[in-house]
Amino acid sequence: MTVKDIEGSQATQQHEGVQDDDELLVDTSKMSEGQAEALEVAESARQKEWKQPSFGSQLFMGTFAPDMLFPFPEQSVEDKKIGDKFIAELGPYLKEHLDADAVDETRTIPQNVIDKLFEMGAFAMKIPQKYGGLGFSQVNYNRVIQLVSSHCGATAVLLSAHQSIGVPQPLLMYGTEEQKQRWLPRFRKDAISAFALTEPNVGSDPAQMSSTADMSEDGTHYILNGEKLWCTNGAVADIMVVMCRTKPKIVNGKERQQITALIVEKNMPGVEVVHRCDFMGIRGIQNALLRFTNVKVPKDNLLWKEGRGLALALGTLNVGRLTVPAACIGMSRQALSVCRRFGRDRVQWGQPIGLHEPGRQKLAFIASTTQAIEAVTWLTSHWADQKKNDIRIEAAMAKLFCTENAWRIADMTVQMRGGRGYEKASSLQARGEEPFPVERMMRDSRINLIIEGTSEIMRLFLAREALDPHLNLAAGLLKKNSSMGTKISTLFKMMGFYAMWYPKQWINGSSFSSYPKFGKLSQQMKFVEKTSHKLARTLFHYMARYQDALERKQLILGNLTDIATELFAMSATCSYAVMQAKQRGNDEPLDLAAHFCWLAKRRIEGHFRSLKQTEETSANPIGKKIINGDYRWMEEDIVWVGDNS
């Protein structure tokens, strides 16, 4: 295989990958049974094919493709008009009729607000018009989520859990025409939906799933039993998609778990809301522990096919998780507005606190990082609409980047407000001050780093995709059952490929590229190009050293995926800023982007430095000793929670 072949396969994304019944490319012999099973389940659900180009996948291989994101995509005039009209009606309505602090305190989104949202079609934004929905583009849908999030996190989550991951999304992606016609129109009328994957023992690791659906003797329905935890909208949902185990399949002589997705209706006998969960933030959501006892689910309610439930859940999340970044924009823009006003009006030590150097630093961070969050969100949203690129890597990067940075912004905003940042809006109002809800914003935004794939799981996901081209190339060597002939031919194939590819990663292509279209930001684009080569060769060095065991080196991979994510954010931001500068007729957006790139560059340099230290990190042995209980002496003289075993 030549460099051209690999680059071609990345451009058209035709990686062969591990097929459903293929052997794993990663050696599981040194893993515990649980680890091996978790990996097998995850691999069998992983989308292996790459039918479209992926910016992120190429970045990991040292190919920087700026043409994919420049010029920055823009909404068509007609599409923008649709979004503008909806937002012009919804924004003022929310300001007047939805008291977000009352939602937080009472844990209730008023029914009249929910009714109004149904009347406007807000529960059917993403549903095509032929099924009665509004047929919004991903961009317009995300614009609405941004707006709602800027005001009330819980209401935004009600809408997004319903249609980003709830029944409409997987139904549109994997349902039959008959199933779509049957259920989708109900979401325009009055039905709320939910997505039920998590269980008490199933968080990030679905291999532990214990909910079961056995086929009835007459073959007409499944019998569903089990519990689902933290199901958002679960306490009020009329229709939900439930992931559960069905009859296992034998693959290569071994039993392989089958996770299947079923559509379950609240009024089916045996569906029970056991407990409504209460949280630190987004307190108005109707999130529940659900129990299913011998629920008869007609076999027509099977989504896609048996054994594809986890792939369905992951595929749903690939697009579904794009809403979380949009929510981060709403919160971050609100934070900027609060900090600007407070930074200007609050005078201490003889000048506005926003003009003291630490104040200026915070304002510059918040504004430039908000711009980057927007760039990443709108780029991935446009790509989702255009359907020309494979966005699974970029959607995960967007989720990771936007949630972690929005959290930093929330933290900084609380700090900027000092004691007022810690005080509830109702208390501020009671003493006659502007009721900026900063503490609620902070509580509401923390969950974004956990739901729809935690930050750690996003990094694992990105790392697996980063390694994919190398693992595929070496598949003939890594598979235990390969013949000697296959091993030798794989070795030659690899030598041929790396002999061409590797030297290219040392040639600084950015010396020959000038990126004139990026104007003031051309240096930043050169940095991205140069660093993508460094990233690719560093990944290769670790791959050569650890081979398939690299997949378990999470510190190394975490640093590499964070570098790639920052590079993606830098490229998106530069392109976005050029478009904004043209629209606004001045350089302000370019200056913001340059500042963001400076911050990102410093973080990237930190990641490369950390890579050198991961080998000798003292954290690993200390962490292990803590789990062993060796440091229990450090827990003395506190009032223990529970039995402190």
Ligand X SMILES: Cc1cc2nc3c(=O)[nH]c(=O)nc-3n(C[C@H](O)[C@H](O)[C@H](O)COP(=O)(O)OP(=O)(O)OC[C@H]3O[C@@H](n4cnc5c(N)ncnc54)[C@H](O)[C@@H]3O)c2cc1C
* Interface residue with ligand X, options 197, 207, 319, 366 (CB under 6 A): 197
Determine contact, residues 261/309, Cβ cutoff 8 Å: yes
CB-based contacts of 381: which residues, under 8 Å, 6+ apart? 138, 139, 142, 322, 326
Site for ligand X in 611-640 (CB under 6 A): none
User: Cα(312)–Cα(45) distance, rounded to whole angstroms?
Assistant: 8
Among residues 153 and 330, whose Cβ is nearest to ligand X? 153
Q: Is 552 a residue that touches ligand X (CB under 6 A)?
A: no
Q: Which is nearer to ligand X, 287 or 389 (CB)?
A: 287
Q: What is the DSSP letter of 423?
A: S
Q: Give yes or no for residue 208 binding ligand X (CB under 6 A).
A: no
Minimal distance, residue 118 CB to ligand X, in Å: 20
Q: Is 230 in the site for ligand X (CB under 6 A)?
A: yes
Pairing relationship of beta strands 221-231 and 239-251 according to DSSP bridges: unpaired
Peptide bond into 200 cis (omega under 30): no
Distance of closest approach, residue 294 Cβ to ligand X, in angstroms: 22
Cβ 281 to ligand X shortest distance, Å: 8
Alpha carbons 481 and 23: distance in angstroms, whole number: 9
The rounded distance, in Å, linking the Cα atoms of 397 and 271 is 36
- From the CB of residue 299, how many other CB atoms can be counted at a distance below 10 Å? 14
Contact 297, 221 (CB under 8 A): yes
Instruction: Please give the Cα distance from 546 to 323 (Å, whole number).
Output: 36
Residues 6+ apart with CB under 8 A from 254: none
CB of 195 to ligand X, least distance (A): 5
Neighbours of 313 (CB within 10 A): 22
* Type and span of the H or E element at 334: helix 323-345
What backbone torsions phi and psi does residue 512 show, to the nearest 5 degrees? -95, -10
CB 7 within 8 A of CB 62: no
Active site residues: 452
Q: Which of residues 269-308 bind ligand X (CB under 6 A)?
A: 279, 287
How many residues of this chain interact with ligand X, rule: CB under 6 A?
Answer: 20
Q: Does residue 150 contact residue 437 with C-beta atoms inside 8 Å? A: no
Query: Taking CB positions, which residue lies at the least distance from ligand X?
Result: 203
Nearer Cβ to ligand X (279/502): 279
- Provide the mask over 561-580, with x wherever binding to ligand X is found by CB under 6 A and - wherever it is not: --------------------
Beta carbons of 563 and 578 less than 8 angstroms apart: no
CB 320, CB 312: distance < 8 Å: no
To ligand X, the closest distance from the beta carbon of 549 in angstroms equals 15
Q: Specify the residue, 287 or 369, whose C-beta has the smaller distance to ligand X.
A: 287
515 torsion bin: left (phi>0), alpha (psi -120 to 50), beta (else): left
Binding to ligand X (CB under 6 A) within 312-341 occurs at none
The piece of 191-199, 314-322, 431-439, 498-506 that touches ligand X (CB under 6 A) is 191-199
Among 47, 454, 547, 614, the residue binding ligand X under the rule CB under 6 A is 454
User: Which stretch in 73-81, 131-139, 196-204, 219-227 sits in contact with ligand X by CB under 6 A?
Assistant: 196-204
Least separation in angstroms between residue 578's CB and ligand X is 36
For the bound state, the minimum distance from the C-beta of residue 168 to ligand X, rounded and expressed in Å, comes to: 14
| 147 or 460: CB nearest ligand X | 460
Distance CA 574, CA 72 (A): 9
Q: Which is nearer to ligand X, 213 or 473 (CB)?
A: 213
Asked if 451 interacts with ligand X (CB under 6 A), we say yes
231 sits near ligand X (criterion: CB under 6 A): yes
**Closer Cβ to ligand X, 234 or 330, answer by number:** 234
Interface ranges with ligand X (CB under 6 A): 161, 195-198, 203-204, 230-232, 279, 287, 447, 450-451, 454, 456-457, 460, 554
